[in-house]
Amino acid sequence: MAEPKDMYQCQVSNCGYIYDPDKGDAKSNTPAGTAFKDLPDDWKCPHCGSSKKTFRPLAGPGSVVEDGI
């Protein structure tokens, strides 16, 4: 099971999709085990289509928890 620091959440309003490296992303044919940092720069959120830049880690530096979001 992935640690929260390895999971990233889309910060676009009304989305909240969480990228879990243990699951990958079937929509973009990203296999399970692919770390968020290893996703291509042009990868898009499978729910809302936003860019990779709108995601933040669930824990650790720069996380939604650390910033109280």
Give the pLDDT of residue 38. 98
- Domains in the chain (CATH in brackets) are 4-57 (2.20.28.10)
Give the pLDDT of residue 11. 94
The tens digit of pLDDT for each residue in 20-37 reads 999 999 999 999 999 999
Describe the strand order of the beta sheet including 8-10 as a list of residue ranges: 18-19, 8-10, 55-57
pTM (whole model) above 0.85 = yes
Which two tokens mark 51? 């860019």
Give the pLDDT of residue 62. 84
- pLDDT less than 50: residues of the chain: none
